[in-house]
Structure 1
Amino acid sequence: MRVRSALLAGVRGLWLAVFGIVGSVVLFTLAVVSISFMLLGIGVLTTPVVLGAVRAFADLRRVQAAEWAGVRIPTPYRRPLPARRGGVAGQVELCSALLKDKATWRDLQWLLVDMTLGAVLALLPAAMLLYAPWGVVVASGVWKPLVRTDGTFWFLFVPVTGQDTAYLAAATGLTLGVVGLFTGPALLRAHFLLAEPLLRPTRERELALRVDHLTESRHDVVDDSAAALRRIERDLHDGAQARLVAMGMSLGTIEALVEKDPAQAKRLLAAARADSAEALTELRDLVRGIHPPVLAERGLADAVRALALRVPLSVEVDVELPGRAAEPVESAAYFAVSEVLTNATKHSGADRVWIDAHHAEGALRIAVTDNGRGGASVAAGTGLLGIERRLGAFDGILAVSSPAGGPTMVTMEIPCVLA
C-alpha cells in the first residue's frame, strides 16, 4: 500500500512539475504581454481570454489539491462577472472587472511560485524514487564510461571515481528511494499547501463571498416564506374555513328544525359533529406542517424517527445527537429530511432508505441514502433545490451523489451548536 501511494505521488508530482512549469510559464508570459498591450488596444481583446485561461488553470489545481491530497481550496472569484455587452465598451468593462479583482493578481503570483518552488516540490517524490534504480545502474558498471568521458561523475553529492564510490552512490540512491516511499505523499501535499495561501480567498474576500451567499439565501428564504404563507392561507380558506362556514349554516338549520323536525335536526347535528372533527383534523395537519409537535416536544432525533414510520418504505434510522440545536435549525433539518424522503418515495423506485444523523466539528450532518435507480440532481426540479435554499439560510450545504443505477446519497450539513 505504501509503495502504491508513493508511486502514485511520484507520477502525479512529475505530471504537476512538467505541466506546471510549461503551463505556468506560458500563461504568465501571455498574461504579462496581454496586459502590457492594453495601452495599444490589442490587450483589451486578449486579456479576458488569457485571464480566463489562468482561472481555469488555477481551478484545475484546486480540484487536484482536493482529489490528490485532501487539501480543499475554495474558489475566490466573485461571480458572476459583469453582463457581457457588445463592442469595445463591453470589452473594456470586462477587462476592468478582471483587473480590479485581487484574485487575478494572486493567481499571477501563484503562477510564479508554481513554476519555481512549486515545481521543485512536485518533482521531489518522483526524483527520490528514480534515484534508487539509477544508483543501482551506476554501480553495475555504467559509471566507467561516464568517468572516462568527464573525469568525474557526480551522483548527487557523491563523486564517482571508482567501484567503491559507485557502491556509495547506489547506497545513497537506495536510501533516497526508501525516504521517498515514506515522504512522497507528504511532499505532494506540501506542493498544494504551498499554493493554498495564494489560491484561496483572502479573509476580506471570504467575508464578501459569505455576504453574497447569505444575501442570496435570504432572498430565497423570504420567497419561500411568502409561498408558505400563501399555502397556509389557501389551505385554511379551502379546508377548515369552508367546513366551519358549513357548520354554522347547519347549526342555523338545526336551530330552526329542533322543535319542528327533531329527527332531521338530529341527523344534521351528527353531520355537523363529523364536519367539526374533520375541520379539527385539517387544522392539526396544518399546524403539524408548520411545526410538528413531536419536533417541539422531543427534538430532531425522535421527529426523524416519526417521519420514518410514516414513509411506505423500509427505513433504518441512526441518529446520535448529544443535545438539541436551535429551533430554526431543527425545523430546517426536519423539513429537509422530510422532502428527501418524499423524493425517494415518489421518484427513486427504492424500497430501502438509510438515515444517519450526527453532530461533529461544530456542524449537524445528515445523510439520507436510498437503493433506488439514481439520477437525482439539484437542477432536476425534484425539491432538492428548495432544500439547498432552506439550508443556505443557515450557511448550510447540500451534496448529492446519485449515479445512474443508484444508490442516491443526499448529504446535508448545517453549522450549529447543540445545547
Structure 2
Amino acid sequence: MSNTDRLAELSQAGVSIWLDDLSRERITSGNLAELIRDKHVVGVTTNPTIFAKALSSGHAYDEQVRALAERGADVHAAVRELTTSDVRDAADLFRDVYTATGGADGRVSIEVDPGLARDTDRTVAEAADLWKTVDRPNIFVKIPATEQGLPAITRTLAEGISVNVTLIFSVERYREVIDAFFAGLEQATANGHDLRSIQSVASFFVSRVDAEVDKRLEAIGTDEARALRGEAAIANARLAYAAYQELFAGERWTALKEQGANPQRPLWASTGVKDPSYSDTRYVDGLVVAGVVNTMPEQTLEAAADHAEITGDTVTGTADRAREVFDRLAAVGIDVTDVFLTLENEGVEKFDKSWTELLDTVSGQLAGAKG
C-alpha cells in the first residue's frame, strides 16, 4: 500500500487529517500546498511552541523583521504581525478545502497569549482582536479549557467567532467545554448570528496522558501497575468520544442543530508518541472514528503515511473497556484527578514559557535589524 493510500483510508474513515505545525518556510517553499494536494492534509494547528521554533530557525522572517524594526514596532506588535501573517497566508492556501467542506475543514488555528489562560476578560478581548486581525473566515482562535477559559469560550462563540478549545485532558472538563459551546451558540443566536457560519473543535490531548500516567505507574513499580503502561491515553480519548456521543444526542443540541448549528468536533491533539517503545502511529490507529480531527506533527503524519494500520472504527463501542482501564488505574493507586490537574497546569506553563522564548527571540531580531 502506498503512502497516499494509507492517508486516503484514514480520510475515507471520516478522520480529518490536520498538520500540527506551521512556518513561513513551509508556506513559501510550497511544502504546505504539497501536503494539501498529496497527503490529504485539510487543516493546520499552531501553538506558541511551534511559532517559537519557526521564528528562531533560518531567515524566512528577516525581511519582515527589518520592516517592523524600521517602523519602530515593539516586540508584542511584531510577534502579532509575524504570526498572524503566517496564519493568514496558510488560511488562503486552505480556502478551497474550506469551501469544499462547507467550512468544517480548511481551518488554521492561532492561539491567544497563553499568559492570559487564567484571565477571562483579556482572553475574550484577544480572541476578538486575533479574529479581526487575521480577517479570514477559515481560522480558529484557540482558547485553553482552563476554569477561566470556559466562560471566555462561551463569550467568544457568542460573538460569532469560531473557536478551537485547547488543552483538554479530562472527560469531566470536556463535558464542561461542551456546555460552554452550547451556551455560546445559544447566545450567538440571541445576538443575531447565523449558526451555520460558526465552527468549533475541542482539542483533547492524548499522548501527554500516557507520559504522566506511565511515569506514576513506574514509580508504583508493581507488576499490576506496569501492566497498565500505555493504556490510559487511548482509553481517556475513547471515553471523551462517548461523552460527545451522549451530549450531542440530547435535546439541547437538537434545538441548536435545528437552527443550523454545526457540531463541535472532537480533535485528537498531542498525537506524537513520547515513549519510543510504543508504535509511532498508536494515537492514529487507535482513535479512528468518523467525524473527528487528528492533528499530527509532521513526523507522525509521515509515520501514518508509511505504516498506519487503518482497520475501520476503533472507537465506537469501546467505552466500557475504557472505564475498566480507569478502574484498574485507580486500584493500583493512580489519582487520575491529580494527573489531569497536573497536565493542565503544565500545559499552560509550557506554552507560557514558549511565548516568553518567542518574545525574546523577536526582541533580539528587532535589535539586530536596527543595527
* TM-score interval for Structure 1 and Structure 2 normalised by the shorter chain: under 0.3
Going by fraction, where is helix more abundant, 1 or 2?
A: 1
Give the alignment's TM-score, normalised by structure 1: 0.22
Structure number, greater radius of gyration: 1
Q: Does 1 or 2 have the higher relative contact order (CA < 8 Å, sep 6+)?
A: 2
